[in-house]
Amino acid sequence: MSESATSGARGISVASAFAGMRSVAPVVFRAGCPDCRGRFELAASALRLAIGATSRTTFYSFTCPECGAAVRKPAGERIVELLTGGGVRTLRLHSM
Ligand SMILES: [Zn+2]
């Protein structure tokens, strides 16, 4: 009994150490620019997500940090989940 209690306490301290690391690491999203073909990582604050009534009107947008072009790309369900989970500002174009 005392053995399992010891290993349990160790597990908690490891979990809290990982939780601390997660909160420090910034969330970044990889993106590419169709204009200058640049590839870069963007913070959540640099992205905007617009959710429309259908997948055709659901897209994310950002300004290319290399050439300044306004880039808009369609966002599938998985991308929407990723972006909203990462704290990207979301605009709902359609009331759900
Ligand atoms: Zn560009």
Separation between Cα atoms, residue 33 and residue 65, nearest integer Å: 9
Asked if residue 75 is part of any domain, the answer here is yes
Reduced to 3 DSSP states, what percent helix, strand and coil does the chain have, rounded to the nearest 5?
40, 30, 30
Task: Please say if the pLDDT value at position 67 is more than 90.
Answer: yes
Task: Please say if the pLDDT value at position 57 is more than 80.
Answer: yes
Structural domain count, the chain: 1
Asked if residue 73 is part of any domain, the answer here is yes
Give residues with Cβ within 8 angstroms of 58, minimum separation 6.
Answer: 50, 51, 52, 74, 75, 80
In the numeric block, the tokens 């050439």 are attached to: 67
Residue 32 CA, ligand 1 centroid: distance in Å = 8
Asked if residue 3 is part of any domain, the answer here is no
In this structure, which residues have their CB less than 5 angstroms from ion ligand 1? 33, 35-36, 38, 64, 66-67, 69
Asked if residue 17 is part of any domain, the answer here is no
Asked if residue 60 is part of any domain, the answer here is yes
- Whole-model pTM: value is 0.69
Name the residue range of residue 86's domain: 24-92
Task: Please say if the pLDDT value at position 96 is more than 70.
Answer: no
Give the mean model confidence (pLDDT) for residues 68-88: 95
Asked if residue 19 is part of any domain, the answer here is no
